[in-house]
A and B are shown apart, each in its own frame.
Chain A
Amino acid sequence: MKRGMFALAVLALFVGSAYAQGTIKIGGIWTLADITGKQGSAAAQLAVDEINAAGGVLGKKLELIVVDDEGKADKAAAAVEKLATVDKVDVFVGGMASGAELGKIPAFKKYNKVVMATGAAGSATVEKALGPSPESDFYFHLHPWDYNQGASYAEGWNAIQQKYPNIQIKKIFLAYEEGAFGKSSWDATKVLFGGDKRYTIDGASFKSALLGGGDYTAVLEAAKAFKPDLFIWAGYDADALPLLEQSKAMKFSPGIYLGAPPGWPIDFGASKLSPNVMLYGMWSTAMNNNNPSSAKFFKNYVAKYKEEPATYFAPLAYSAVYILADGIKAAGTTETTALVKALEATKYASPLGETITFKPSNIIKHQGITRQKILQWQNGEQQVIWPFEAATAAPVYPFPAWK
């Protein structure tokens, strides 16, 4: 009898201790078949592991529960429901495609838990659906909106031309894929660069290899005839090398050759055609040299997963978890009102080379990063050209003629 009582007491003590210990649950939603989701969720798990190894948050361990949204709005909405009701998560993190993010918003609003969004640039859809403060105050948008990105490119090129007088841009040609992404890039380019008549703009569409195309000869012929100083292509990673190969075959070498896909193919840097191609992005391995936070993230990621992060969505998701953890620590709770207030005071020195704070954007109250970077492939690595405070190399200009 005594032995039984003792066993019960030990069990009660154990259970009680485990309950007190508890966990803070983070619901992560990504498209796992996509490299951005695969590496984004892996980087978020890395951040959770690091935080737990350092003692957790408020004496509790963090637990990341990941659900795949398959890039679809309906699956994304179901993922929010499942995480909120079955797993009973305290906060949400993740996201990439605007379409999938749009599907989550009604459910996010219903549960009113803090969301740290790592993707979704579509302001006309996602930001509009979120609506103004206070109804969207639970939503912290880390990734820049499309208009933030466009404005930062215009700012970047102006700054580069001022600092490097040998770089002069008068004519810009945009080769854009014929889908929604390309067309919105074309519309934004016309407004941002063609508005004040400083630049002469032209463009033509092409069918991306990702959507069954892959023949760029017509668009490159149009670009070559236009003789642009800055040639930009807005397509997908599947277009990157074939476009360059066809450009070389057609001996098309503009002053600046810039690609703006969401991600680059594996081993693009190893191609002999990659040197001096410019790109838009947020992070590169070159930043490890002048940013300790980036170096730490990179080292730990490679040690854990035995592969290099190939997309900026990895450091972005990693940052998202750290920002949430810091916010929960400061608030002392995961309760939404208190956590929102604590997160508004965020100053996080991120691996992305900037200190993240939250400011109002055009509609919502909590916008994190607003600037993209202008980078250039040099010796197989992406080097940051602009913003100058994060620069890792000077630009190579002009894009050399093909040999």
Chain B
Amino acid sequence: MIVKRRVAIIAALSIAAMTALIVWKPTVLIYGLQAAGLYAAVAIPMGLVLGIVHIVNLAHGECMMLAAYAAYFGCKALGMDPLVAILPTAIVTAIFGWVVFQLTIRRALKAPELNQLILTFGLAIAFSQAINLIFTSQTYKMPLEYVSASMDIGDISFGVWSFVFVAVAIIFAYGLTFFLTKTMTGKAAVAVGQNPRGAAIVGIDVYRTYGLVFALALALVGAMGALFLTKSAIFPGVGSPFTMKSFCLIAMAGIGNIPGILGASVLLGVAENFLRAFRPTRDWAEIVFFVLIIVVILARSLKGRKS
């Protein structure tokens, strides 16, 4: 009862804050939600891997970068739009993910966490340097007209394309929740995530499940890579900042809480854009990210100690 009441209060306060923002500074909310969509859509696959395989994939952003390069050159060769390339890229990266898991990550699952971190960090460097060697640091960007689609509200003109990331983040979050709670494979994955030994005793192939989950996460990363092409230029280092942001969002949401990543992303996106909207605080937008993480984790620790 108390919990329900608290949730209702938070929801009411959030709605009130959003309404105030819409009236006072609508662009803060618009751009904040757009940024949140991008952050969440990239972070959710990492959250899946961390929640079930229990490995921090420091090559997460680099995997998205590889997918973006694959999609770019696929699109250039076949004259495709990146939106058409989403599915083929997802399939290719799923296969790539399966192979990477079997060749590398599987071997380190029983190793100390530090070894796992070093392994995925090594993969990140290998991926970015390989792309640097092959394609140099030259940037590539697909010129697309629809990404400049615009909408007017009163005197304000703003881009609407980035709302696609909001939609993708919601689809990822609720699609994965459905998969993990309603399908046999998903339930098996949750079981393996919660207790791998117990899952193995009841006949679940633990390593196959890990491999499937990793491949699924990379499929989502691949889809995001192709979609990311519509928004950003690509270059060897384009993915790495997303690894850290994604990890921090997962830490804010709580490991295994995939829908929670949506909430954390909205908080971060809106807070960043709120600070950017005012001249004196414009340069503080990057700091808010770390401040929020510290506050949330600190609050959670204090709450845990009390209970």
Contacts and interface: CB of A to CB of B under 8 A. Distances in A.
A204 B282 contact: yes
B187 interface: no
A134 interface: no
Contact of A240 (B141, B276, B279): B141
B31 interface: yes
A191 interface: no
B141 A207 contact: no
Interface stretch (B157-165, B199-207, B253-261): B157-165
B286 A272 contact: no
Contact of A210 (B157, B158, B159, B237): B237
B147 A215 contact: no
Interface string A19-44: 00000000000000111001000000
Contacts of B140: 265-267
Contacts of B285: 218
B27 A214 contact: no
Interface residues of A, number: 42
Interface string A266-299: 1110111100000000000000000000000000
Nearest to A251: B157
B145 A272 contact: yes
Contacts of B277: 218, 221
Contact of A273 (B148, B159, B241, B273): B148
A44 B248 CA distance: 46
Interface stretch (B85-93, B105-113, B228-236): B228-236
B276 A35 contact: no
Interface string B265-307: 0000000010011010011011000000000000000000000
Contacts of A12: none
Identify the 3 closest CB pairs spanning chains A and B, nearest first. Answer: A249-B159, A212-B241, A271-B143
Interface of B: 27, 31, 35, 132-133, 136-141, 143-145, 147-150, 152, 157-161, 231-233, 235, 237-238, 240-242, 273, 276-277, 279, 282-283, 285-286
A178 interface: yes
B235 A210 contact: yes
A291 B226 CA distance: 42
B139 A272 contact: no
A265 B233 contact: yes
Contacts of B282: 204-205, 218, 222
Q: Interface on chain B toward A: helix, strand, loop, or mixed SS?
A: mixed
A139 to B, nearest CB: 27
A9 B272 CA distance: 81
A237 B139 contact: yes
Contacts of B238: 209, 238
Given A35-B137, A242-B231, A250-B150, A222 B286 contact: no
B143 A238 contact: no
Contacts of A209: 232-233, 238
Interface string A236-264: 11111110011011110000000000010
Interface of A: 33-35, 38, 178, 204-205, 207, 209-212, 214-215, 217-218, 221-222, 236-242, 245-246, 248-251, 263, 265-268, 270-273, 310, 402
A16 to B, nearest CB: 42
10 contacts: A33-B137, A38-B136, A205-B283, A212-B242, A217-B276, A238-B139, A241-B141, A249-B161, A266-B138, A310-B138
Most chain A beta carbons < 10 A, residue from B137, B144, B237, B286: B137
A242 B237 contact: no
With most chain A CB atoms within 10 A of its CB, the pick from B139, B143, B286 is: B139
Contact of B133 (A33, A215, A217, A273): A33
Nearest to B129: A33
B148 A248 contact: yes
A236 B232 CA distance: 13
A165 to B, nearest CB: 31
A33 B136 contact: yes
Nearest to B152: A251
A35 B235 contact: no
Contacts of B240: 212
A211 B235 CA distance: 11
A218 to B, nearest CB: 4
Given A204-B282, A210-B235, A217 B137 contact: no
Given A215-B31, A215-B35, A221-B27, A249 B158 contact: yes
A27 to B, nearest CB: 22
Given A205-B283, A222-B279, A240 B233 contact: yes
A242 to B, nearest CB: 6
Contact of B136 (A34, A238, A239): A34
B159 A267 contact: no
A296 B112 CA distance: 61
Contacts of A251: 150, 152, 157
Nearest to B76: A267
Contacts of A222: 279, 282
B210 to A, nearest CB: 30
A46 B50 CA distance: 52
Given A34-B137, A210-B237, A272-B145, A249 B231 contact: no
B289 to A, nearest CB: 11
A211 B161 CA distance: 22
A218 B150 CA distance: 16
A221 B30 CA distance: 13
B233 A217 contact: no
B143 A267 contact: yes
A38 to B, nearest CB: 6
Contacts of B141: 238, 240-242, 265, 267-268
B233 A238 contact: yes
A252 to B, nearest CB: 8
Nearest to A217: B31
A217 B132 contact: no
A241 B143 contact: yes
